[in-house]
Copies of this chain bind each other. A is one copy, B any other.
């Protein structure tokens, strides 16, 4: 399994992902699920991927080929809107899945994959899209300023409590880190390193990129402080009347 999320705040975007991939319990490995692209200077896009690794790799491969191919009908550089890029990724994802669908179905394995596309094209605001395995897609809203794929439930409560459009980029990144940390504690199919990318609105480049392992001083100290903070908050809760 996997856990990836993107957060959209007024200041810009935050992307975060874990790195554990497994085919059964005896073949667990480390793969980045955050893909960045070398695009024209008027745009920045990041893709986060959850689901079948072969589908994801095939999709990213096709996206990169289209970017390098001067004759490609469409690519991330020619998209006029981020919405169109989401549509292109959704369509390509469905095509990739269909290629192996019947063979996959025969052995009962799912080739499905979900993606988050986030970025900005000059003249338009930053946006994030969740692209379903069926190729359709949704964007975030001010009331729901984040999107998740993979093992989304464990890490959702902290996002619901903290994230709002006015949250700073750094607080959004810290919250993403806590959300993934909580998920990793409760589900072994999500694992380090954690990747975090921070994009400031209208900068058209990733401002900060971090890859954090248990041994990273920042991650270790956030993890320790959060555990202490939670225990402290818990100890201050009101008592029952009979206590």
CB pair A225–B242 under 8 Å, yes or no, is no
Q: Which residues of B contact A156 (CB under 8 A)?
A: 154, 186
Q: Residue A58 at the B interface, CB < 8 A?
A: no
The distance from the CB of A195 to the nearest CB of chain B, in whole angstroms, is 14
Asked if A208 lies at the interface with its beta carbon under 8 angstroms from chain B, I say: yes
Tell me which residues across on chain B come within 8 A of A232, comparing CB atoms: 229, 233
Tell me the number of copies of this protein. Answer: 2
17 contacts between A and B (CB under 8 A): A153-B187, A154-B156, A156-B186, A157-B185, A161-B230, A162-B231, A170-B239, A174-B240, A175-B234, A178-B234, A208-B240, A218-B240, A221-B238, A225-B237, A229-B237, A230-B230, A230-B233
Interface positions of A (Cβ within 8 A of B): 151, 153-158, 160-162, 170-171, 173-175, 178, 182-183, 185-187, 208, 210, 218, 221-222, 225-234, 236-243
